[in-house]
Structure 1
C-alpha cells in the first residue's frame, strides 16, 4: 500500500503544524516519524536536559496519539541509513517535512532529498518555524537586509492577520499502529532532575516591555526552548499577543532577522560578519575564560548571570548582553568562545540568534553595538539590580570576604579594548 511519511524535526506538536497539516489532508495513509540524529547526539553530555525535553514532548505526543489507536515511530542513528531502511520497509510515495534553515540541516535535507528522488519519492516542504522566511522580506533591489530597523519595518508592512492563521491538522489518516516508544535510557541518555525546560508564560506578558530589563522580576516568557523545538508555533504566539507592534513581537522579529542573516551569510558561523574586525588580536586567556564560565569575575551581575546559566540553562536577556560584552571587551576573548559555551549550556540555544547576538555584543556583527560601546558592569548593576535581589540569589557570598576580587579594572579594560579594536581595524 502506498503511504506517506511526516518527518518531525523542530516542530514537536500535533497542532498548528504547517507540514503536518498538508500531510494530514493527503489521501494516503500517513506514518509519523522522528529521528534522534546520532550526529547531533554524540557530542552531548548523557544528561543533556534538551534531549530529555525532546523525549518528554514526543512521549506526550505518543500518548495523545495512543488515545486514537495510533502512534509515532521513533528511530535513533544515522539519518541517511535510517531513511534507506525505511524505503526498503515501506512503499513510500511522499515525505512531508517543515523547513529548517540552519546550514547543517539544509545539507542533511539536500542529501535525503536527492536519495529519495532517485527512488521516485516526492519530498514536500512547508514553512513553519517563521512567519517570513529567507526571500520574503528583502530590500527593493532583492538583496537581504543587514540592519534590523528597516527589516522590521518591511516585516510589519508585509504582515497581515492571515500570516498568523492556524494550520488545521487532522489525524484521521495517521496509520494505526503500536510502535514501541523508547525510554530515555534506550536512546542513550540519563534524566536530568536539576535542569529542566520551564513551561512558557505567554499569558503573562502584559508587563514585559516595562519589566524585561530587571532580572529579579523574572518577567521573561521562557518561550525560547519551546520555539527552538517547536512545541508551540510562532503563529499561535502572535495570535495570543494580538499586537505585532508590541515589544515582545519585536523580539520574534529579531529572531527571524537573525535567521535570514544566517541563511544568506552562512559563513558568519565561523567569521565576523564585518571582516574589518578580522584583525583583532584577542588575548584568549584560558584562565580568564574559566573564571568567566564559573561566575568568578568579581563583577556581581556578570557572575550572577553565569551561575544562573550553569545551574538552570537559562540566563536573563539583559544579563546575557552584559556577560557577552564583558568576555569580549573586558577580557578580550574571542566571541566564538562565548558562543560555544552558550551553545553547550543554553536550553534555548538556537544557532542564528546565538551567533547574531554574540556578534552584536562583540561589535563585529550586522547591526551591532559599536565597538566603542563597552558596558560598565557596575552601572548596569545600579540600573537594573539596584537592591541586589538577583545577585543575592545567585552569588550568596557577595558582600563577604569569600567573594572574588574584580579580575580586571573597568577603565583599564575599556581602554585596552578600544586600542585592540582600533589596531585590528587598521590591520585589515
Structure 2
C-alpha cells in the first residue's frame, strides 16, 4: 500500500497538525518519523534543557500514536539520507512536514525538498507554528517590520476565528519490519553517571500534547483573569506557562486563539485576553525579525552598536551571574529559578539581562547562549529578540540608557519578598526592608543573618550604571 512519510520536528502533536492532516486526506498509510540531526541546526542546535524536554515530548507523542494504533519511528543522522531510506523501505509516494523558520533549518529543508523531488517524490510543507508566516506581512513600502505596534495592527486584523483540526481517532501502523531507534539512544537527557540536573524541571512541567492542553485549561480557568497586571509579578502564577509547549509544537497558536475566542468572558477579563493575544503577537514579531534579518542571532540588528565598548568578560564574574551568585537578590533568584526549573519569569528575564548587558556591560550574546542551554522554551527567534530588546541593539528595542534598577524592580514586583526568599533561601532571615539590597545592612548584621550570601554585589549598581551611560554616550 502506498504511504506518506510525515516528518515530525517541532510540531509534536496530533491535533491541528497540517502535515498530518494532509497525509490523512491523501488516503495513504502514514509513517510518522522523527530524525535527530543536531549538526543540521548548528550553530544553534538544541541546548541541554531543550533536549531533556524533547526526550519526554517524543515519548508522549509515541504514546499518543500507539493509542491510535501507530508508532513513532525514530532515526538519527543525516535527514535527507534517512528520509530517502525510509521512502525506499515503505514505498512512500510523498513526504510531508511543517515548516521551521530558523536560518539553518530553512537551508536544510530547501536542500531536502529539492533532493526528494528529484527522486520523484511529492513533497509538501505547511505552516503549523505561526498565525502568519514572516513573508506574508509587510510594511506599506513592502519591507519587513522593525516596530511591533504597526506589525501587530496588521496581524491582528487577519486573525479571524480559526477552526483547528481535531486529532485522528485511528491510524494504520507502519510496517513491523520498519526499524526504530530506541529513544534512549538519542542521549537527550542526563543519564548516569551524570547527575540528574533536570530533576526539578518535572515538578513544574508535563511535556507533551496532553500537558499543553492541561496548561491551556489552567490558564483559561485562572491566570488569564487579571493577566494584564499579574503577568509582571514573579511571586505568583500570572502567566500562561505555555511557552515551552509552543516551542515544541505541542500546541499551536491557532489552538490557543480558537480557545480564547470560544470562551464567554466577563467584561473585566476581555482586556486581559487582548493583552495575552498581544503577547502571542510578540512571538510572531520575533519570528518575523529572525526570518528577515537572519544575521541577528549572532550580530546586532542595529549596527550602531557594533563599535560599542562592551566590557571584556571575566569568566569568574560571568559564572557568578550564571549561577546566581551576583549578590543582587532578584538577579540571583531569577538565575536559580532558571537552573532549577528550566524557566524564568519574563519580568525577571529582563532584569537579569539588563544587569548583564548594562551593569556588567557584557555583550548580550553571552546571556543568549546561557539561556539557550538552560531554558526549556529556548526558541531562537524569541531568545534573540528578547536579548537584543533589553540590550538596546535590536528592533523596537528598549533604549540602551533604559537600565533596570534591580532593587527598585524587586521592591515593585516582589514587594513581599516571596520570590526572592523562595529561590535565595539564605536571605530568609533578613527583614523585608533589607531583602532587596542586603549590602546596605551593617556588615556584622549581614554576616550574622545571611553568612552564606555575598556581602557586596559584583558591581556597584550606581557606578556601573554611570559607566554604561558613559560608554553609550561615547558610542553615539
TM-score by length of 2: 0.83
Task: Report Cα offsets for 1:151-170 as digits up to 9, x if no partner.
Answer: 11111122211xx2213454
Bigger mean CA offset, 28-37 vs 220-229: 28-37
Alignment of 1:95-134 (within 5 A): 95-134=95-134
Note the aligned Cα RMSD (angstroms). Answer: 2.4
Contact kept in structure 2, 1:216 and 1:390, CA below 8 Å = yes
Q: Which residue of structure 2 lines up, in the alignment, with residue 90 of structure 1?
A: 90
Aligned partner of 1:413 in structure 2 is 464
Match of 1:4, SS state, is strand
Answer whether contact 2:48 2:374 (CA < 8 A) is retained.
no
Query: Structure 2 CA distance, aligned partners of 1:171 and 1:111?
Result: 34
SS, match of residue 15 in structure 2 = coil
Matched, 1:185 2:184: yes
- Alignment of 1:269 with 2:269, yes or no, is no
Q: CA deviation at 1:173?
A: 6.0
Mean Cα deviation higher: 141-150 or 326-335: 141-150
Which has the higher mean CA deviation after the structures are superposed, 75-84 or 406-415? 75-84
How much has 1:287 moved relative to structure 2? 2.3
SS at match of 1:407: coil
Gaps of 5+ in 1: none
Aligned partner (choices 317, 338, 344) of residue 373 of structure 2? 344
Indicate the residue corresponding to 2:388 in structure 1.
Answer: 359
Query: d(CA) in 2 for partners of 1:389 and 1:68?
Result: 45
CA distance in 2, matches of 1:99, 1:380: 39
Q: Give, in whole Å, the separation in 2 of the partners of 1:417 and 1:174.
A: 62
Change (3 A) 1:46 1:146: closer
Q: Is residue 2:141 matched to residue 1:165?
A: no
The match for 2:36 is: 36
Shift of 1:306: 0.6
Match of 2:398 in 1: 369
CA–CA distance in structure 1, aligned partners of residues 47 and 278 of structure 2:
34
* Contact 2:49-2:374 within 8 A present in 1 as well: no
TM-score between both structures, scaled by the size of structure 1: 0.92
SS of the aligned residue for 2:74 comes to strand
1:241 alignment counterpart: 260
Q: Measure, in 2, the Cα distance between the counterparts of 1:389 and 1:300.
A: 12
CA contact (8 A) 1:69 1:176 kept: no
The count of residues paired between Structure 1 and Structure 2 equals: 423
- Per-residue deviation, residues 62-84 of structure 1 (Å, max 9, x unmatched): 23333343222111222233123
Aligned twin of 1:202: 219
Matched, 1:278 2:306: yes
Partner of 1:292: 321
Find the aligned partners of 1:40 and 1:103 in 2 and give their Cα distance. 11
Question: Secondary structure of 1:150's partner?
Answer: helix
